[in-house]
Amino acid sequence: MAYNRFLLSTACLLVSLPALAQTSGAGNGGPGVPVTIVKPMRQDVPITIRGLAQVAPLNNVVLHPRVDGTLDKVNFAEGSMVHAGDVLAVIDPRPYQAVLDAALAKKASDVANQINAKHDLERYAQLAVNQFAAQQQVDTQRALVVQLDATIKGDDAAIAAAQLNLDFTKIIAPFDGRVGLRLTDLGNFIRSADTTNPGIVTLSQIQPVTVTFSVPQDNLPSIAAAMANGTPQVHASSADGKSTLGDGTLITIDNSIDPTTGTIKVKATFPNGELKLWPGQFVNTTMQVGQQANAISLPSQAVQHGPDGLFVYVVKPDNTVAIAPVNVSLDTGTLAAIASGVSEGDTVVLSGQSRLRPGVKVSIVTGSGS
């Protein structure tokens, strides 16, 4: 039995040797390691700054009541888009209408008294000319007219205050935006001075929307220079980098650097027409602050990291590969600007590098962009 097992093991080893030789003999006349290739080309490589950003509404407000009363009407659907000036809710206006009516009535009474007092003043003044009335009576009547004038001004102020309180019974949207979930149900009695009151609803302006992110302080000069020369563009993508969420523009830089992290905040606005950006969402941002003109470039995935630095695999005329050390002056994450190491006429391996070593024969996959 042991002899049979020995024969079987030997047979398996003999069978596996040709396969091993085929795998390891790619540089000795075998079919070659399949790779895709790319030609270095000259183009403008954008200088970009990347960061993790958080989306925030352009404006955000919790709508609170400014007068006390019962929530009488709710005119919005949760999650709906509303416009500036829309009446979103109404507090019972009847008590405030009554106060306004009383103020109007008081002014009407005071105006009638004022008219009568002015007429009496005219009569007393004429009588005083003929000495049929004392001058003191004229002065007293003139003082009464002035007093009634002041009373009417007070009435106007009371009417204005009553009208303002009546207007406050309507909860009006201050800007275009999207309402959130209702915070107070219909029929509740709410007070304007109640600090525990959560409000009626939250309104957020999300078209446009803002995106805020932090960048290292070393990037501040290039960002400031880009803003001086125009409006830097900012691209937003999903956290996994697979989905494009929108393109916006940088609007401002914060007024100070965070000394604990050595970073500074910048803010961009996005039109957000398709509502792909949502307040509170984290997104990846790429901001272009310049470009390296007419640079020899390669896709970033062609550049490999080795113990001695960066390098690429160059395909020689005999379809074997050699290592070419390179200096990368700029890498955007998708495109690398090569300062030295390759030229436009070289053929560089784009993918399949994991099985390569100097002198290994390669098989170029068609449709690789060569």
**Domain 94-168 top-level CATH class:** mainly alpha
Separation between Cα atoms, residue 327 and residue 310, nearest integer Å: 7
Separation between Cα atoms, residue 198 and residue 200, nearest integer Å: 7
What local confidence, expressed as pLDDT, does residue 3 receive? Answer: 40
What local confidence, expressed as pLDDT, does residue 121 receive? Answer: 87
**Domain 65-92+169-199 top-level CATH class:** mainly beta
Instruction: Using 50 as the pLDDT threshold, list the residues of the chain that sit under it.
Output: 1-28, 368-370
CA-derived radius of gyration, the chain: 40
CB count within 10 Å of CB 303 equals 19
What local confidence, expressed as pLDDT, does residue 86 receive? Answer: 97
What local confidence, expressed as pLDDT, does residue 291 receive? Answer: 86
Question: Taking the C-alpha atoms of 303, 308, 313 and 318 in order, what is their torsion angle to the nearest 10 degrees?
Answer: 170
Length of the chain: 370
Pair 233, 287: CB distance under 8 Å: yes
- Please give the structure tokens belonging to residue 252: 């401002």
The pTM of the full predicted model, rounded to 2 decimals, is 0.70
Q: How far is residue 94 from each of residues 72, 120, 145, measured CA to CA in Å?
A: 11, 39, 34
Query: One-letter amino acid identity for 46?
Result: P
Pair 346, 364: CB distance under 8 Å: no
Separation between Cα atoms, residue 173 and residue 162, nearest integer Å: 21
What local confidence, expressed as pLDDT, does residue 195 receive? Answer: 85
What local confidence, expressed as pLDDT, does residue 369 receive? Answer: 47
Pair 200, 36: CB distance under 8 Å: no
Question: Domain spans of the chain?
Answer: 65-92+169-199, 94-168
Pair 302, 38: CB distance under 8 Å: yes
What local confidence, expressed as pLDDT, does residue 365 receive? Answer: 86
Q: Is the peptide bond before 208 cis (omega within 30 degrees of 0)?
A: yes
Separation between Cα atoms, residue 173 and residue 97, nearest integer Å: 22
pLDDT digits (tens, 9 = 90+) for 323-340: 999 999 888 888 999 999
